[in-house]
């Protein structure tokens, strides 16, 4: 048996709705975000998970509970969102007025994480889950899950800019059945609403 990763981004928060960068600010889900998380329940309840991990931030933990997997998740600090440092709570368009061409996946954040640092966290998560068997649920955040996916398929962190990820979305990472040593993206950015 090999591992199969189910990546679940948290439901909507006030800042995901407004587009503000939300790293370490511990925001709860909005009412709509809670509904989005509940909509994942029918899909996730059909899957037998051997392990469930969640970011320590409440938006991920709430999504995990509302999606029906909150009975015994393990908190994994490395699943936390990108540390935006000085850019926490700001909009990309406002940051680019001061720093034209800024791209988080290429440039990182002053007094926050660099692409190399978040890549290192993603690599640690991958190393841990590759020692597991079965279906593994990871409840986390948009930017971090995009980075984790790039590292899963051996692409540079900067390539994550090409992969959008909606709130309360489900993505699946696995291995190509014809080439069991080749990691694959089996499903991307699916949700009950899409």
Separation CA 170–CA 143 (nearest Å): 14
In this structure, are strands 49-54 and 134-140 parallel, antiparallel, or unpaired? parallel
Cβ-based neighbour number of residue 97 at 10 Å: 9
Q: Is 127 exposed, middle or buried (0-12, 13-18, 19+ CB in 10 A)?
A: exposed
Residue 15 corresponds to which tokens in the numbers above?
A: 């800042």
Q: Is 39:32 a contact under the CB 8 Å cutoff? A: no
194: CB partners within 8 A, 6+ apart: 166, 169
**Among 125, 168, 118, which Cα is nearest to 143's?**
118
Q: Point out the catalytic residue in the list 36, 76, 81, 88.
A: 81
Instruction: Note if 10 is an active site residue.
Output: yes
Q: Is 61:38 a contact under the CB 8 Å cutoff? A: no
The residues that are catalytic are: 10, 81
């Amino acid at each position: 048996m090999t591992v199969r990763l189910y990546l679940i981004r948290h439901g909507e928060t006030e800042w995901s709705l407004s587009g503000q960068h939300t790293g370490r600010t511990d925001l709860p889900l909005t009412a709509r975000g809670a509904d989005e998380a509940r909509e994942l329940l029918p899909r996730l309840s059909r899957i037998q998970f051997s392990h469930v991990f969640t970011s320590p931030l409440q938006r991920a933990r709430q999504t995990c509970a509302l999606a029906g997997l909150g009975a015994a998740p393990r908190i994994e600090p490395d699943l936390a969102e990108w540390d935006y440092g000085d850019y926490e709570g700001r909009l990309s368009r406002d940051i680019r007025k001061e720093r034209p061409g800024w791209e988080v996946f290429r440039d990182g954040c002053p007094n926050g994480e660099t692409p190399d640092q978040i890549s290192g966290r993603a690599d640690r998560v991958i190393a841990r889950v590759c020692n597991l068997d079965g279906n593994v649920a990871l409840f986390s955040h948009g930017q971090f899950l995009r980075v984790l996916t790039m590292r899963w398929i051996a692409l540079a962190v900067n390539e994550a800019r090409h992969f959008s990820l909606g709130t309360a979305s489900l993505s699946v990472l696995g291995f190509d059945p014809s080439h069991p040593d080749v990691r694959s993206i089996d499903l991307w950015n699916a949700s009950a609403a899409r």
